[in-house]
Chain A
Amino acid sequence: QSVLTQPPSVSGAPGQRVTISCTGSRYNIGAGYDVHWYQQLPGAAPKLLIYRSRNRPSGVPDRFSGSRSGTSASLVITGLQAEDEADYYCQSYDSSLSGSPFGGGTKLTVL
């Protein structure tokens, strides 16, 4: 059971907008520690999607955006495309664990 909670699955039709939440506590997101998001396509290594809560690495489309509020963070994907179907993970430092755990992951299905 991770200290960062994500919904197991979300879905949306092509062109729609979806939001994936990452709920933490005062020991991680609520303490102001950075949140990072990763995309893992089937059979591939994960890839950094968002770092420091809202920054996109070079090459990541601006359809992907991140935000945070209180003890939670969110990944928003707009203009959903078939190739966005993947698993998504959040990550943040946790002071109670003295480490950087991942959320349980969210499977995005494009209908």
Chain B
Amino acid sequence: VQLVQSGAEVRKPGESLKISCKGSGYSFTNYWIGWVRQMPGKGLEWVGIIYPGDSDRRYGPSFQGQVTISADKSISTAYLQWRSLKASDSAMYYCVRHEEEWGGSDIWGQGTLVTVS
């Protein structure tokens, strides 16, 4: 069971970006996938979650309208995307898996480092 994320990205302010998280070794549509942000030297922040089975999703208040979470269950992949990046979006982003909507995240991806400069 693992989540494998796409590689590090470097973008300029105003550019768009979509990072991915591919699940394997389990039934992708039966677990929630979440995204967690960690800015350099800072703590964990909850971005939002999606249920790939029906694309039901939730966003943290700070991220609502700033990012879009989506999933393609046909290829067991979830996405986090930005339409217009800001320097403050620079961070490590982790995707996570949990069985219940507000359950503990038992599997973490390796992280995708996003640099906006």
Q: Place the interface of chain A in its size category.
A: 20 to 34
Report A59-111 residues with CB < 8 Å from chain B CB: 87, 89, 91, 93, 97-105
* B112 nearest CB across to chain A (Å): 11
| Contact of B110 with A by CB under 8 A | yes
Q: Which of B7-15, B17-25, B74-82, B99-107 contacts A (4 or more CB under 8 A)?
A: B99-107
Please give, as numbers and ranges, the residues of chain B lying within 8 Å of A100 by CB-CB distance. 34, 46, 49, 102
**Which of the residues B43, B49, B111 comes within 8 Å of A45, measured between beta carbons?**
B111
5 nearest CB pairs, A to B: A51-B104, A36-B104, A93-B102, A105-B43, A102-B44
* B6 nearest CB across to chain A (Å): 15
| Contact of A30 with B by CB under 8 A | no
| Contact of B108 with A by CB under 8 A | yes
**Which of the residues A2, A38, A51, A89 comes within 8 Å of B103, measured between beta carbons?**
A51
* A104 nearest CB across to chain B (Å): 5
Q: Place the interface of chain B in its size category.
A: 20 to 34
Task: Please give the residue numbers on chain B whose beta carbons come within 8 Å of chain A beta carbons, in ascending order.
Answer: 34, 36, 43-46, 48-49, 58-61, 94, 102-106, 108-111
Docked Cα-Cα span, A57 to B60, in Å, equals 26
Docked Cα-Cα span, A98 to B58, in Å, equals 8
**What are 13 A-B interface contacts by the 8 Å CB criterion?**
A34-B102, A36-B103, A36-B105, A45-B111, A46-B36, A46-B44, A51-B104, A52-B104, A89-B43, A89-B44, A97-B61, A98-B58, A102-B43
Task: Please give the residue numbers on chain A whose beta carbons come within 8 Å of chain B beta carbons, in ascending order.
Answer: 2, 33-34, 36, 38, 40, 45-48, 50-52, 57, 87, 89, 91, 93, 97-105
Known pairs A89-B43, A102-B44 / 14 extra A-B pairs, C-beta < 8 Å: A33-B102, A36-B104, A38-B44, A46-B108, A48-B104, A48-B106, A51-B103, A52-B103, A98-B61, A99-B60, A99-B61, A100-B34, A100-B49, A102-B46
